[in-house]
Amino acid sequence: MVTKNQIKLVKSLQQKKYRSQHKLFVVEGKKVVEELLESGLKPYKLFVEDEKHIDYEGVELISSAELRQMSSLSTPNGVLGVFYMADTMPVDHNGWVVALDSVRDPGNLGTIIRLCDWFGIKHLICSLDTVDCYNPKVLQATMGSITRVNVVYTNLMEYFEKSECTIYGTFMDGQSVYDQKIQKNGILVMGNEANGISKEVEATIDQRTSIPQYGQQTTESLNVATATAILLGEIRRRE
């Protein structure tokens, strides 16, 4: 039987400070939980409404009412897992790396992690004020890709100043990505949803790039995740 302390712990993990304190995070849904288990990520606790949902030793059967108390979803879907956070790895610059400057929307970060997985980008560098990759909404959007992308949080300016890679920044007035010479490896920097790349980070950029607009000038900019998809697709097409 689930205890009040267990429910309290799981609910507390909706907040970043408690995730950081306990080195634990929560995911919900059979598919995502199974992907994390298959990746070898160590579970702390697995809670299910029906033992048939997850074929794993040590699952704990709970009621719908108990699951609702722990869940961040308006309609819980029967499976909730608490996992230990994975250790981050050193960033390998032999291939392309994506960097995010103050991306705040959980859905955008989750989609970008999923895109990195799709396009074979192994490392994602995030500014310290980018949304936490273990935020429940981020994890829902990654669809399990969080296990295959190394997400590192750091001071971008300090990191870029030490980097020997070509740093490509996305700007409205940059050179069209379709006309630009693209290296075999580099760092692609995507900016904040509302303000783009900050002035401090802009000072470290080597190449300014953009996605040309073909329609009427009614849209100010593309969604950051959509822009990431287009740029990574063009980078991979050139290989």
What pLDDT, in 10s, does the model give residues 193-230?
999 999 999 999 999 999 998 877 666 778 999 999 99
pLDDT of residue 40: 86
Tokens of 105: 């929307």
pLDDT of residue 113: 98
DSSP E strand stretches across the chain: 24-28, 43-48, 60-61, 79-84, 97-100, 123-127, 150-154, 167-176, 187-190, 207-210
pLDDT of residue 55: 73
pLDDT of residue 143: 83
Contact of 81 with 33, CB cutoff 8 Å = yes
Contact of 150 with 193, CB cutoff 8 Å = no
pLDDT of residue 218: 64
What pLDDT, in 10s, does the model give residues 103-157?
999 999 999 999 999 999 999 999 999 999 999 999 989 888 999 999 999 999 9
Q: What is the DSSP string of 35-80?
A: HHHHTTPPEEEEEESSTTS---TT-EE--HHHHHHH-SSSS--SEE
Average pLDDT over residues 13-31: 94
Domain positions in the chain are: 4-84, 97-237
Fold of 4-84: 60s Ribosomal Protein L30; Chain: A; (3.30.1330)
CATH number for the segment(s) 97-237: 3.40.1280.10
Q: Fill in the DSSP letter of residue 196.
A: B
- Between 106 and 31, name the one with better pLDDT: 106
For the chain, how long is the longest CA-to-CA vector?
62
pLDDT of residue 180: 95
Tokens of 144: 């399990």
Average pLDDT over residues 173-187: 94
CA atoms within 13 A on the CB side of 145: 24
What pLDDT, in 10s, does the model give residues 33-84?
988 998 888 999 999 987 777 777 778 899 999 999 999 888 888 999 999 9
Number of Cβ within 10 Å of residue 47's Cβ equals 27
Q: How far apart, in whole angstroms, are the C-alpha atoms of residue 68 and residue 84? A: 22
Q: Three-state SS string across 122-153, please?
A: CEEEEECCCCCCCCHHHHHHHCCHHHCCEEEE
Q: Which residue has the tokens 């290989």?
A: 239
pLDDT of residue 219: 66
pLDDT of residue 73: 87
- Separation in Å, CA 135 to CA 10, 97, 199, 217: 13, 22, 27, 35
pLDDT of residue 217: 67
Contact of 83 with 25, CB cutoff 8 Å = yes
CA 216 to chain centre: 32
Q: Say yes or no to pLDDT of 85 above 70.
A: yes
Q: Say yes or no to pLDDT of 25 above 80.
A: yes
